[in-house]
């Protein structure tokens, strides 16, 4: 990534924040509506968390490349 920009970093951060908001809303929704079977959606939750961690890693890489 030779031409790294603050816009690229901000875009990725904004995307990650939106995904976290969706995940937070989803957790609120499932806790309220499905208290008896919270483990039923665990694989989906794990996938969302793994994706967010991947995205955060990309943000970190972009930020490091932009700072050097």
Specify the pLDDT at position 2.
Answer: 46
d(CA 62, CA 47): 23
Q: Which domain holds residue 54?
A: 6-34+41-67
Model pLDDT for residues 22-61, shown as the tens digit of each residue: 777 776 665 555 555 666 777 877 888 888 888 888 888 8
Domain contains 1: no
Domain contains 45: yes
The total of structural domains in the chain comes to 1
- Dihedral over Cα of 28, 29, 33, 34: its sign: negative
Domain contains 30: yes
Cα atoms found within 13 Å of the Cα of residue 66, Cβ hemisphere only: 13
Can you give the pTM of this predicted structure? 0.48
User: Look-up: residue for tokens 């969706």?
Assistant: 22
- Dihedral over Cα of 55, 57, 60, 65: its sign: negative
């Amino acid at each position: 990534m030779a031409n790294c920009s603050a816009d690229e970093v901000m875009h990725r951060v904004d995307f990650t924040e939106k995904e976290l908001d969706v995940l937070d809303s989803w957790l609120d929704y499932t806790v309220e509506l499905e208290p008896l079977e919270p483990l039923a959606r665990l694989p989906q939750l794990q996938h969302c968390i793994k994706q967010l961690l991947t995205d955060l890693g990309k943000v970190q890489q972009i930020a490091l490349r932009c700072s050097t």
